[in-house]
Amino acid sequence: PPPVNGRNGIIRNMTVKYFKKKSDPQLIFLPNLTSAVIFGLDCDVEYHVQVRACIYVDESCSPYSDAQVIPIQFRDVRDDGTETPDGSTVFLWASVGVGVLLIFFALAACQYIYRRRRRTPLRQVISMSKTNLYSE
């Protein structure tokens, strides 16, 4: 902790430490800022984030806060600022569409086979009509 005479001073610097489990921490120094955006994070990974405040640049700093676990999920942002659906949602709907089409084609094939077996062959119809003509 900062020395007693350095406490309750003006915070001039914040340090953000973030890291994946079992990896080296990355540091971001934030002079005179109250927030930060961290770029280049991996998708579907949990990061541990800690923050500390300093009265002077890297001197008289508080201890790091307890690590907060933050899950990073994939979000794709278009040029106009709106989010595109994540890959899993698109994949789900594409799979449902393909599944419905496969079921439709399977039912159509079954219907075709059923009607074809049920239909009387043309030769048999012709021979039946000839025998009916001759029998009368």
Give the residue-averaged pLDDT of 12-41.
78
Confidence of residue 120 (pLDDT cuts 50, 70, 90): low
Best mean pLDDT range from 12-26, 46-60, 97-111: 97-111
H, E, C per residue of 57-125: CCEEECCCCCCEEEEECCCEECCCCCEECCHHHHHHHHHHHHHHHHHHHHHHHHHHHHHHHHCCCHHHH
Confidence of residue 106 (pLDDT cuts 50, 70, 90): very high
pLDDT at 31: 74
Give the residue-averaged pLDDT of 120-130.
67
Partners of 18 in the beta sheet? 26, 49
Q: How far apart are CA 133 and CA 126, in angstroms?
A: 10
Extract the tokens encoding 13.
């610097």
pLDDT at 2: 54
Contact 80, 91 (CB under 8 A): no
Q: How far apart are CA 50 and CA 62, in angstroms?
A: 12
Whole-model pTM? 0.46
* Sign of the torsion angle spanned by Cα atoms 101, 104, 110, 113: negative
pLDDT in tens, 66-80: 888 887 766 666 666
Q: How far apart are CA 87 and CA 92, in angstroms?
A: 9
- Mean pLDDT value across the chain: 75
pLDDT at 85: 58
